[in-house]
Amino acid sequence: MLRGVLGKTFRLLGYTIQYGCIAHCTFEYIGGVVMCSGPSMEPTIQNSDIVFAENLSRHFYGIQSDFFKSHSYVPRGHVWLEGDNLQNSTDSRYYGPIPYGLIRGRIFFKVWPLSDCGFLRSSPNGHRFSDD
Amino acid sequence: MAQSQGWVRRYFRAFCKGFFVAVPVAVTFLDRVACVARVEGASMQPSLNPGGSQTSDVVLLNHWKARNFQVQRGDIVSLVSPKNPEQKIIKRVIALEGDIIRTIGHKNRYVKVPRGHIWVEGDHHGHSFDSNSFGPVSLGLLHAHATHILWPPKRWQKLESVLPPERSPMQREE
C-alpha cells in the first residue's frame, strides 16, 4: 500500500521533471507563443495580440551592420530598436542601442486574432532606416 | 527471426525513452542550475589563470544563483559580451546601479552606474576588456556566478567575493 503510493509519487515527480525540462528546452531553443500588451508596436501588433516568437538568439547574429541612424552611431554588437508607434514607445531613442546578447527572439508570425493571422508586415516607418 | 526483431524493437524503444528523458533533463540542468567552463586569457589574474597561458582554470558556473539577477559587489560573474554575443566574459562586479565609480581609462573620469546596469572589471587592470572600455553593462547580460575553481586539482578552491579596496565605489547606493 505504502509502496504503491510512494511509487506513484515518484513516477509523478519524474514525469513533472521530464516535461518541465522538455518545455524549457522548447522555449529556450525553438520558440513559443507570447501575448503582447501595450501600444508601442501599433499598428503591426495590437494590444493583446498573440504572436509566435522563434528563439534564434543563438544563430541570428549574422546581421551585424553598424549603421548611422538619425545621427547616433550604433556600436559593434549592438542594435537599435524602435517601436512602430513612434509617438508612444519607449525604445532606443530613450535608452540607446542595446547589445545583441539581450535579444530573446524574433517575432514573425501572428496567431491571434484569427482575422489578422499571418506573417507580420514590414515596418510602416521604413523610410527612417538608412543602411550606409 | 521474429524474436530478434522484437528484441531490436524493444531496445530501440528503451533507447528513445531514455533519450527523451536524459537529453532535456541534462540541457535544462546545464542551462538553469550549473555548468563548467574553461577560463581563457589573463584578464582575471591573479584570481584565475595565475600561471599565464600555460594553464587554464576550469570554473563552476552557478546559474541558479544568478536567476534573479542578484549580484553583490566583488562577485565573480560571467556575462555575455556586449560586443560579441557569441562570447562569454568573466569579470568581477565592482559597482551596482546607482553607485558612482572612478574609472581607469574610460572616456569619463567618473561614472554613475545607470538603473539595471552593473560595472564589471577584470582583476588584471590594463589587460582586461571590461567596463572601462565598454561602459556599464546591462544586468540582462548576466550569465552565471563563478563560484569554484574545479581544475587543476591543486587549485581547487571556493572563489571569494572580495572587492579590491582601491576599487570600491566612491558613493554607494544603499
Mind giving me the DSSP string for B40-103? -SSTTTTTS-TTTTS---EEEEESGGGTT----TT-EEEEE-SS-TT-EEEEEEEE-TT-EEE-
Q: Which of A118, A99, A98 is nearest to A110 (CA)?
A: A118
DSSP lists the bridge partners of residue B119 as B95
Determine which one of B78, B91, B112, B131 is catalytic. B91
Contacts of A57 in chain B (CB under 8 A): 85
CB contact under 8 A, B85 and A101: yes
CA–CA distance, B172 with B174 (Å, rounded to integer) = 6
Nearest to A25 among B24, B86, B141 (CB): B24
Q: In the structure grid, which three cell numbers stand for residue B103, read together?
A: 574609472
Report the 10 Å Cβ neighbour count for B116. Answer: 13
pLDDT tens digit string along B87-126? Answer: 899 999 999 999 999 888 888 889 999 999 999 999 888 8
Q: In the structure grid, which three cell numbers stand for residue A21, read together?
A: 525540462
Q: Provide the shortest C-alpha distance from residue B87 to chain A (in Å).
A: 9
Confidence band of B53 (pLDDT split at 50, 70, 90): low
Say whether residue B28 is in contact with chain A using an 8 A CB cutoff: yes
Higher pLDDT: A128 or B48? It is B48
Confidence band of A68 (pLDDT split at 50, 70, 90): very low
B142 exposed, middle or buried (CB, 10 Å; 0-12, 13-18, 19+)? buried
Does A65 score more than 50 pLDDT? Answer: no
Q: Which of A105, A131, A129, A124 is nearest to A51 (CA)?
A: A105
What pLDDT was estimated at residue A66?
Answer: 45
Q: Which of B88, B133, B82 is nearest to A96 (CA)?
A: B82
Task: Give chain B's end-to-end CA distance (angstroms, integer).
Answer: 75
Query: What's the CA angle centered on B132, arms B102 and A64, to 5 degrees?
Result: 150
Mutate to test the interface with A, among B30, B67, B81, B84 (most CBs of A within 10 A): B84
Range ranked top by mean pLDDT from A30-44, A50-64, A79-93, B125-139: B125-139
**In this predicted complex, what is the ipTM?**
0.71
What is the count of residue pairs from A and B with beta carbons less than 8 Å apart? 56
Mutate to test the interface with B, among A13, A21, A95 (most CBs of B within 10 A): A21
Please give the mean pLDDT across all residues of chain B: 88
Does A49 score more than 50 pLDDT? Answer: yes
Contacts of B148 (CB under 8 A, 6+ apart): B59, B60, B156, B157, B158, B159
What pLDDT was estimated at residue B26?
Answer: 92
Mutate to test the interface with A, among B21, B118, B137 (most CBs of A within 10 A): B21
Longest dimension (CA), chain B: 81
Residue B42 phi, psi dihedral angles, 5° rounding = -105, 10
Higher pLDDT: A55 or B168? It is B168
Task: Give chain A's end-to-end CA distance (angstroms, integer).
Answer: 74
Nearest to A101 among B20, B25, B80 (CB): B80
Does B70 score more than 80 pLDDT? Answer: yes
Range ranked top by mean pLDDT from A110-114, B49-53, B165-169: B165-169
CA–CA distance, A44 with A41 (Å, rounded to integer) = 6
Q: Inter-axis angle of helices A2-29 and B2-32, to 10 degrees?
A: 70
Average pLDDT over residues A49-53: 84
Does B68 score more than 60 pLDDT? Answer: yes
> To which CATH superfamily is domain A33-129 assigned?
Umud Fragment, subunit A (2.10.109.10)
Does B37 score more than 50 pLDDT? Answer: yes
Higher pLDDT: A82 or A71? It is A82
Contacts of B83 in chain A (CB under 8 A): 75-77, 99
Please give the mean pLDDT across all residues of chain A: 78
Does A30 score more than 70 pLDDT? Answer: yes
Give chain B's radius of gyration (CA, Å): 21
